[in-house]
A and B are shown apart, each in its own frame.
Chain A
Amino acid sequence: MSYKIVRKEDLNPQVFLMEIEAPLVAKKAEPGQFVILRIDEFGERVPFTVSDFDREKGTVTIIIQAVGKTTKDLAAMKAGESILDFAGPLGMPTPLDHIKKVAIIGGGLGTAIAYPQAKKLKSLGADVTVITGFRNKELIILEDEMKAVSNKLIITTDDGSNGLQGFVTDRLKEEIEAGEKFDEVIAIGPLVMMRAVCRVTEQYNIPTTVSMNPVMIDGTGMCGGCRVIVGGETKFACVDGPDFDGHKIDWDAALKRSQMFKPYEKRSCEEGRCRITGKEHCNA
């Protein structure tokens, strides 16, 4: 069995979208859930959060940043080609039904994962404010898509190159200070960004959901590699999450754990040969 890439689109120089044929996954997928894929026989199992799905077409969309071995290999693939394994949907869907007014925060690539949440909440009739942050204007993704599923879209850049300078936390604070009463904040992005958002929302007592994306292998509760400490208890991101109460996460432990395989990731990129292009390594 293999899974065909039906569409591939570059969103910015590093980030691209892949729409993959996987009817059974598409049928069950909900916002917040993820898939695990393996490119070929030699590949590693890598989790990707579902960015969109089309139940009728039987496709699942994931958005990928070419940063490591597998993501660079994926970047070298084209529409029409297939990947060997694609399993899901895994994890628990984000509980969204109770939310009336929400701020959805997407940091960089996290915007891709925040998109299905915004889409679902908008369709449920919630008031949706989306705040997305990028390092610069060139890296902005999903602007039109987010506009279509939000009541208000704020895009901010670290360097101000899009005309609005600052972090997502600056924008969130402004909104709250301006009197917006969010019953929940959903923050998705790098660990440090999610932690920063939680520090803000703690001051205002706004419940905050974050999406954790630790290293994992099976995605079904078997390896325990994705351990996250939440409220002093060990949880598995794959089956108990990936969404958790951001105010209860042990961020220090999560940041340290995210470093465990960093030296290997570097080596894999430097010494591993791209099996798609056959090039020395995939710094394409």
Chain B
Amino acid sequence: MPNMSLTKNPMPAQAPDVRNKNFLEVATGYTEDMAVDEAQRCLNCKNRPCMTGCPVAVKIPEFLALVAERKFEEAYEKITETNALPAVCGRVCPQEKQCESKCVRGIKGEPVGIGRVERFVADYHLQHGKDKAVEVKKNGKSVAVVGSGPSGLTAAGDLVKMGYDVTIFEAFHTAGGVLMYGIPEFRLPKNIVQKEIDKLKSLGVKIETNTIIGKTLMVDELLEQFDAVFVGTGAGLPSFLRIEGEALNGVYSANEFLTRINLMKGYKFPEYDTPVYCGKNVAVFGGGNVAMDAARCAKRLGAENVYIVYRRGKEELPARKEEVEHAEEEGIQFKLLENPTKFIGDENGWLKGVELLSMELGEPDASGRRKPVEIKGSEHVLDIDTAVIAIGQTPNPLIKKTTEGLDTNAKGCIIADEKGATSKAYVYAGGDAVTGAATVILAMGAGKTAAAAIDEKLQNK
């Protein structure tokens, strides 16, 4: 008999006024009993609607059934049949837009907390489980993976299990891509990411850090050494607002602010050498997950007032619902329907304010969201000493510029078909490098699809 409770087991979490002063993980995770209780809410539908909402097609009802029987290790194996990074997905997937949005239990009441149970299973395995030595017969072929973010790690994991010799090339000194430099410790602990990466290494994936493809080595050089190349270089180029005063001291791209904090551990300065300047009044521009991350980091660094400045309304915020709620609980102030027009500096070149223009919502635009329209004469100044611009990223042009025959679109995204094949033979691509900034799980899905396509192509070579 399933558990017919209409609500999810709540996620245990640090209290808001405690956690907004530390970088420890906000959500502390289900206990065994909570996970079992939540898994028992699954009706085990025959047509499995939840799975259609998962970009990597995790066998959700099966793993939930195993959790309900307290077979946690078996549940882990079931998840990892299709998902190489469950501890990551359980934490950062927008489940409310994916698997959980399709859950039948969500019609009346809350859907099953699939993400929370997935996270429990992955954490249980990291603590208690042993990775079984997998015997893979090598097929004598090799693939180079460029970038070690979600799409690259997924493609590498799948390919190595198929018998390919896989080498990942990473520009930074640490593998993990956005999981390491972008998403903060309190949302995705770095030791969790590191363990997932170590698991891939134990499967035989080689990782070459400090290697910038397009500078240190070229894609054409990789094609001389490898049978195929997968490009999963993400969307690393920050967009700026292109308004007056953007070069003032105190104005950051979200990439810089978050990289200083997460990858370089600037929040532990001077134990770590990289500093991060954060003032008392901080405005973060943008409404996505990156904006929420930056705002919550600023609060933890001791800022008194942290604002999210977004030009549309609350309903239009593209961030995960949970991130918005967490940000509000932690005291982040939302300045909605406001658009910056210029930064104002003092005589020494330091930021001291931003001029904002109020907006109202008009007709829906191409994205289907109501378009913000300026209210004339509504200019006003907000006093700030730090600004973080989180209005999106586009793909880094390094590979495009140095690889002949690799077509990109007007936005600089690599053009790839639905299987990840690009205009250049034996070069595949996926993730944000193809779509522009999106989510971890979509990038993982693309890595998975491309791995299958590479396998198909190389088998017939």
Determine if A70 and B255 form an interchain contact, defined as CB atoms under 8 angstroms apart.
Answer: no
- Give the chain A neighbours of B403 by CB distance below 8 A: none
CB-nearest residue of chain A relative to B250?
A: A260
- Quick check: A272 and B249 within 8 Å, CB to CB? no
- Report whether A222 and B237 are in contact in the complex, using a CB–CB cutoff of 8 Å: yes
In whole angstroms, how far apart are the Cα atoms of A271 and B268 in the complex? 13
**B270 sits at the interface (CB 8 A):** yes
Residues of B299-336 at the interface with A, using a CB-CB cut-off of 8 Å, are none
CA distance A257 to B247 in the complex (A): 7
Q: Check if A31 is an interface residue, CB within 8 A of chain B.
A: no
Q: Which of B211, B253, B269 contacts A24 (CB 8 A)?
A: B211
Q: In A52-88, which residues have CB < 8 Å from any B CB? A: 69-70, 84-88
B384: min CB distance to chain A, Å: 16
B216 near A88 (CB under 8 angstroms)? yes
Query: Does A166 count as interface, using CB distance less than 8 angstroms?
Result: no
A222 with B247, Cβ < 8 A, contacts A84-B173, A272-B270 known: no
Please report the C-alpha to C-alpha distance between residue A252 and residue B255 in the assembled complex, in whole angstroms.
Answer: 25
When A218-B171, A259-B348 are in contact, do A264 and B275 touch as well, CB less than 8 Å?
yes
Which of B210, B275, B349 has a CB less than 8 Å from the CB of A259?
Answer: B349
Query: Would A253 and B173 count as touching, CB distance under 8 A?
Result: no
Measured between alpha carbons, how far is A44 from B270 in the docked complex, in Å? 11
Q: Which of A44, A87, A222, A272 contacts B264 (CB 8 A)?
A: A44
Q: Establish whether residues B259 and A218, one from each chain, have CB atoms under 8 Å apart when the complex forms.
A: yes
Q: How far is the CB of B84 from chain A (nearest CB, A)?
A: 24
Chain A residues touching B, range:
35 or more
Interface residues of A in 155-196 (CB under 8 A from B): none
Residues of B within 8 A of A253 (CB): 247, 349
Question: How does the 8 Å CB contact mask read for A240-270 relative to B, with 1 for contact and 0 for none?
Answer: 0000000000101100110111001101100
Q: Which stretch (A98-106, A113-121, A134-142, A224-232) binds chain B?
A: A224-232
Q: When the two chains form their complex, are residues B349 and A220 in contact, meaning their CB atoms are under 8 A apart? A: no
Residues A38 and B173 in contact, CB atoms below 8 Å apart: yes
Do A224 and B210 have beta carbons less than 8 Å apart?
no
CB distance from A236 to the nearest CB of B (A): 9
On chain B, the residues within 8 Å of A224 by CB distance are 238, 240, 252-253, 255-256
Query: Across the interface, do A24 and B247 meet the contact criterion of CB distance under 8 Å?
Result: no
Tell whether A256 pairs with B256 under 8 Å between CB atoms, given A234-B247, A264-B275, A268-B273. Answer: no
Main secondary structure of the interface of A (DSSP, over half): mixed
Q: Fill in one digit per residue for A4-35: 1 if any B CB lies within 8 Å of its CB, else 0.
A: 00000000000000000000110010000000
Contact B264 A223 (CB under 8 A): no
Of B248, B260, B274, B398, most A-chain CB atoms within 10 Å: B274
Q: Which residue of B lies closest to A227 (CB)?
A: B247
Question: Once the chains are docked, how many angstroms separate the CA of A1 from the CA of B210?
Answer: 9
Residue of A38, A45, A218 with most partner-chain B CB within 10 A: A218
State whether A227 and B246 are in contact (beta carbons under 8 Å apart), knowing that A220-B236, A222-B238, A264-B277 are contacts in the complex: yes
Rounded to whole angstroms, the CA-CA distance of A83 and B45 in the bound complex is: 56
- What are the residues of chain A within 8 A of B248 when measuring CB–CB? 256
Residue of chain B at shortest CB distance from A269 = B270
Contact A86 B215 (CB under 8 A): no
Number of B residues with CB within 8 Å of any CB on chain A: 41
A220/B398 contact (C-beta < 8 A), A253-B349, A259-B249 known: yes
Is A89 part of the binding interface, using a Cβ–Cβ cutoff of 8 Å?
yes
Would you call A85 and B349 a contact (CB within 8 A)?
A: no
A45 touches B396 (CB 8 A): no
CB-CB under 8 A from A69, the residues of chain B are 273
Q: Could you tell me the distance in whole angstroms from the C-beta of B101 to the nearest C-beta in chain A?
A: 32
B212 and A87: CB pair below 8 A? yes
Residue in chain A with minimal CB distance to B233: A220
Q: Would you call A96 an interface residue if the criterion is a C-beta within 8 Å of the partner chain's C-beta atoms? A: no
- B210, B249, B256, B275: the one contacting A223 at CB < 8 Å is B256
Q: Is B455 an interface residue (CB 8 A)?
A: no
Are A261's CB and B275's CB within 8 A? Answer: yes
Is B208 touching A1 in the complex (CB atoms < 8 A)? yes
B216 and A220 contacting across the interface, CB-CB below 8 Å: no
Give bound CA distance, A69 to B269, whole Å.
Answer: 12
Q: Which residues of A contact B255 (CB under 8 A)?
A: 222-224
In angstroms, Cα B252 to Cα A259, docked, is 15
- Asked whether, in the complex, the Cβ of A28 is within 8 Å of the Cβ of B271, the reply is no
Q: Would you call B212 and A225 a contact (CB within 8 A)?
A: no
Shortest Cβ gap from B425 to chain A (Å): 24
Contact with A along B323-364 (1 / 0, CB 8 A): 000000000000000000000000011000000000000000
Q: Which residues of A contact B259 (CB under 8 A)?
A: 217-218, 222-223
Contacts of A252 in B (CB 8 A): 349
| B173 close to A45 (CB less than 8 A) | yes
**When the two chains form their complex, are residues A221 and B236 in contact, meaning their CB atoms are under 8 A apart?**
yes
Q: Does A43 contact B (CB under 8 A)?
A: yes
User: What are the residues of chain B within 8 A of A128 when measuring CB–CB?
Assistant: none
Q: How far is the CA of A5 from the CA of B212 in the complex (A)?
A: 21
Q: Which residues of A contact B397 (CB under 8 A)?
A: 221, 239
A267 and B348 within 8 A (CB): no
Q: What separation, in Å, do the CA atoms of A108 and B382 have in the docked complex?
A: 43
Nearest-Cβ distance from residue B302 to partner chain A, whole angstroms = 15
Take A44-B273, A256-B348, A272-B273 as given contacts and tell me if A87 and B249 are in contact as well, using a CB distance cutoff of 8 Å.
no
Query: Which residues of the partner chain B approach A268 to less than 8 Å between Cβ atoms?
Result: 269-270, 273, 275
Task: Determine whether B209 belongs to the interface, using a CB cutoff of 8 Å to chain A.
Answer: yes
Would you call A25 and B216 a contact (CB within 8 A)? yes
B217 CB-CB contact with A under 8 Å = yes
C-alpha spacing A268/B271, complex, angstroms:
9
By beta carbon, the residue of chain A nearest B265 is: A42
- Cα A225 to Cα B255 with chains together (Å): 9
Sample of 11 A–B contacts (CB below 8 Å): A44-B274, A87-B211, A88-B216, A220-B215, A221-B397, A222-B396, A223-B253, A223-B259, A259-B348, A260-B250, A272-B273
Query: With A87-B173, A218-B172 given, can you name 14 additional A-B contacts, CB distance below 8 Å?
Result: A1-B208, A1-B210, A28-B215, A38-B173, A44-B264, A45-B264, A84-B173, A85-B210, A220-B398, A221-B397, A227-B246, A256-B348, A259-B349, A260-B277
Q: Which 4 A-B pairs have the closest CB atoms?
A: A256-B349, A264-B275, A223-B256, A44-B273
